[in-house]
Every structure is written in structure tokens, then in C-alpha cells.
Amino acid sequence: MTLHETYLQLESTCATTIDVGLAIEGYNDRKLLTWDSVEHSISLWFAFVGGADYIGFNLCLQAILVSGIWCSYSQGCCHQEAVKMTGKESQIPLLTPYKMGKFELSHRVVLAPLTRQRSYGNVPQPHAILYYSQRTTKGGLLISEATGVSDTAQGYPDTPGIWTKEQIEAWKPIVDAVHAKGGIFFCQIWHAGRVSNSGFQPNGQAPISSSEKELANQVQSNDNDVERFTPPRKLTTEEIPLVVDDFRVAARNAIDAGFDGVEIHGAHGYLIDQFMKDEINDRTDQYGGSLENRCRFALEIIDAIVKEIGADKVGIRLSPFANYMESGDSNPKALGLYMAESLSEYKILYCHMVEPRMKYVDEKVDCPHSLVPMRKAFKGTFISAGGYEMEDGNNVVVENRTDLVAYGRLFLANPDLPKRFELNAPLNKYNRDMFYTSDPVIGYTDYPFLETAV
């Protein structure tokens, strides 16, 4: 049996073989394996178990990886990569370097975007200099908290914006501090859409959305505060290009503030997601109905920003499987795939996806879905996020199911997270009650570093 036939037979035995395939391909891409060594491993395994079943298959993967790495190393094939894997980093795949476009990342532990609601009056504050700089490493990638693109974009108190001169100026020292330590800093640009209320809107007007569907009030993740929403106003077809333009200008402003690029917030039930997800979007114009129509708004934003600042500075965050803020979709896999394929055509730098297990805010759920099809479909850098700890972060990198892993709550509470991973040191626990309070220090910049932790 040829390798290809073997592989097809294995793939037909269970859904997870796609992971295996990707892992094999990943190793092969990086020239850690020769196909011969893969074939050898598979046939060894077949000889051992006399067939492939689910458990056998996972063991088979391990056999392939272990023997493949060993083969390529011992045969001196592509010894540079193999030598890397035998060094200190071999135990810590998250801490291996990665080239993301023109950015030389020294490791793969990314600071996920984290709203902290400490930007009084929507203006970034000096205390953010310390906060972001604490979480900066030389060659590390940081993504800023969600940052409003216009005066209609806010849905929470004291979230930062990037549509006024004052806001741009206020971001500059924060970005400079990250750069001074060698970090790479992307600004997450955002519009909350209907996840807002008239109190956050100019002249007390209704928040805008793809629909007039109202959102039920929600208890915040600190279990105390209740978010109250007022009925949204459906954007007219003619108004949509104006909002697209707000994103374009915000991206330009972010570059002017010194950011290395922007991440478009297309996740978690906010405005862009309100267009993409069929449980919200009930439009009958060219922005509603078919998958292509529902993704049009997101792709027009991509197009405008790519033209404005260049595809090499553009990423997007998507959460096709999540249904935060009542933003479910009847076919999240098709949505994720369509977006991954379309984004590839724009050649944007990265696609950042939230794991299907983060269907609900905060907690992981058991889930049969995976991001692997989207990872395969997207041609640029892939970032995975959602519920990661060190071990599964290392695994997802080793298995080539992602390039980078974004950490939210663990990074919030551990400013030196990559160092702690390197040393396998204990982690500080995060304090949920302080996620969204306005204190400039407590629960913000006072999480201890390893050296000072008791």
C-alpha cells in the first residue's frame, strides 16, 4: 500500500485524522520528516496492531512523530530544524521562534486582546504604559484591548478609542514603551454595534447593528454588574460604507500612533459578527441572506484597510463557533471556512480564531469541532485562542494546528507568562472581580512577577 492509500484508509476511519494529516504535513513541510520515514512508521504500526482504529490512530500519530523526528535527526536530514528540536526549546514548542510576515517573533505566546475599562473618557491612560510594558518581551506579539473606531462604537464604560487626535496621541507613549522593550504591538479595532445602549451613543441615539433584533440584558463575567442594552437601529444599505470607512480611518490612526498593525475585531457578537451570523442578520439587501452576503461587510472592511495600510499589517479575529451576545450561526464551520478562504485572497498577515470550545464566555465546553479546517484553508499566520494552558498550547503548536497561541486570562494575571512557561513555574491566579474595574493599579499592574511572587 502506498503512503497515500494508507493515509486515505486512515482518514476514512475517524474524523480526527485530519489533525493527524496536518501534523504529518506540518512536520514534512518543516522537513523534519521524509515521506519514507512516515510510511515506515505507519507500516510499523500496521504490523503491530494489524489495522487502524481510533485509539490506534492516536498512538500511530505519536509513533509517526517520534520515529519521524528521530529518523530525520539520525539521518542528518534537515539537521538544522532537527537540532533545534533537540535543544532546550524542544521541550517548549511555544517558545520557539516564528516569522510572521516581516515580524521576527522570538516565541509564540501572544497577549490576547483584553478589555480592561481603564481608559477614562475613552482616552488611553498613562497607567496602560506600565500594563502593556509589563507584558512585553523582546520579539513577543501583543494585541491591544478592543479599541473603538468611532463615537458610535462603544458599549462599555472607559474603553479606549482611536478616532480622535487626543486618543492617537495618548496611545503613542504606550506603543513606544512596548517597542522600547522589543515587542510587536497590534491594535484591535472594534465596533460594539448592538452590544451597547443609548447612554454610550452620541445624543442618546440608538446603537447601530445589522438588524433591529434586541439583545437581552446580561450579567457581566464578574457576576455582579448587569449590562443593559437598548434596541438597535438597523443600518441602511447606504450607511454601511460610512462604517467601513470608520474602520479604515481607525486603522490609519493606529499606524499613526505607532502600532505595527491592526487586528479587526470580527468576533464575539460585536458589529462585524452581527453581520456574519445568521441568528442576528435578517437583512434582505446585499449584506444579508447568503453566506457571501453576510460576510460582505467584514470583507469590505478588510479590503479598505488593506488598501490603506497594506495587507502585511492586517489581522482579524473571528469566533464562528461562539454565541456570545446571542450571536450563534446555524453553520459555523461553513462560515469559518468561507472567511478563511476569502481572507487568504486578500493575503492578510494573520487570522486569529477563537476555539470552538469557547462557545460561551469564560468557560470551556466539550466540543466535537476543531479549527483545523480553517487553519488549513488560511494561507497566512494562524493564531488560536481560548482556554489554553501551557500543555495544550505546546501540543497545538507541535501538531501544527496553529502557528501562535493567544493567552487571555493567564497573561492578564501573569505579566511574565512566557518566562513562567520556560521555567514551568506556578502561575498567579486571575482575579475576575478586577477584570473591568477602573482602578489603575489593583488587578491591573499589581500581579507579581516571578521574582517578586511569594
Give the containing element (helix H, strand E) for 307.
Answer: helix 291-309
- CB 406 to ligand FMN: min, Å: 7
Judge contact between 217 and 136, C-beta under 8 A.
no
Give the number of other Cβ atoms within 10 Å of residue 15's Cβ. Answer: 11
Q: What is the CA radius of gyration of the chain?
A: 23
- CB 268 to ligand FMN: min, Å: 6
Three cell numbers, residue 337: 471556512
Q: Which residue among 107, 294, 313, 317 contacts ligand FMN (CB under 6 A)?
A: 317
- CB 297 to ligand FMN: min, Å: 18
Q: Which residue among 409, 437, 438, 440 contacts ligand FMN (CB under 6 A)?
A: 409
Marked catalytic residue, from 131, 270, 388, 407: 270
Give me the 245-284 binding string for ligand FMN, x by CB under 6 A, dash otherwise: --------------------x-xx----------------
CB-nearest residue to ligand FMN? 408
Judge contact between 330 and 321, C-beta under 8 A.
no
Question: Backbone phi, then psi, for 175, in 5-degree steps?
Answer: -65, -40
CA 165, 169, 174, 179 dihedral sign is positive
- CB 113 to ligand FMN: min, Å: 4
Strands 381-385 and 350-354 come out as parallel
Task: State which residue, 333 or 409, has the beta carbon closest to ligand FMN.
Answer: 409
Q: Where does residue 279 rank: exposed (0-12), middle (13-18), buried (19+ CB within 10 A)?
A: middle
280: closest CA among 192, 207, 210? 210
Give the span between the Cα atoms of 65 and 93, in whole angstroms: 14
Give the span between the Cα atoms of 323 and 333, in whole angstroms: 13
Residue 359 contacts ligand FMN per CB under 6 A: no
Task: State which residue, 62 or 222, has the beta carbon closest to ligand FMN.
Answer: 222
- CB 38 to ligand FMN: min, Å: 33
388 is catalytic: no
- CB 361 to ligand FMN: min, Å: 8
Give the span between the Cα atoms of 269 and 170, in whole angstroms: 28
Task: State which residue, 61 or 111, has the beta carbon closest to ligand FMN.
Answer: 111
Q: Which residue among 229, 321, 378, 388 contacts ligand FMN (CB under 6 A)?
A: 388
Three cell numbers, residue 188: 484591535
CA 251, 393, 174, 265 dihedral sign is positive
Q: Which stretch binds ligand FMN (CB under 6 A): 11-19, 118-126, 325-333, 404-412?
A: 404-412
Residue 132 contacts ligand FMN per CB under 6 A: no
Task: State which residue, 283 or 352, has the beta carbon closest to ligand FMN.
Answer: 352
Give the containing element (helix H, strand E) for 317.
Answer: strand 314-318
Q: Which of residues 74-113 bind ligand FMN (CB under 6 A)?
A: 112-113
Task: State which residue, 207 or 288, has the beta carbon closest to ligand FMN.
Answer: 207
Task: State which residue, 82 or 413, has the beta carbon closest to ligand FMN.
Answer: 413
Q: Which stretch binds ligand FMN (CB under 6 A): 22-30, 169-177, 289-297, 384-392?
A: 384-392
Three cell numbers, residue 199: 447612554
DSSP structure string for 376-445:
HH--SEEEEESS--HHHHHHHHHTTS-SEEEESHHHHH-TTHHHHHHHT---PPP-GGGSS---SSTTTT
- CB 282 to ligand FMN: min, Å: 25
Q: Which residue among 145, 329, 399, 422 contacts ligand FMN (CB under 6 A)?
A: 145
Residue 320 contacts ligand FMN per CB under 6 A: no
Bridge partners of 344?
none
Give the span between the Cα atoms of 51 and 74, in whole angstroms: 28
Total chain residues near ligand FMN (CB under 6 A) = 22
Residue 428 contacts ligand FMN per CB under 6 A: no
Give me the 185-224 binding string for ligand FMN, x by CB under 6 A, dash otherwise: ---x------------------------------------
Strands 226-227 and 218-219 come out as antiparallel
Give the span between the Cα atoms of 44 and 230, in whole angstroms: 63
Q: Which residues are catalytic?
A: 270
The residues that touch ligand FMN, with contacts defined as CB under 6 A, are 112-115, 145-146, 188, 265, 267-268, 317, 354, 358, 385-388, 407-410, 435
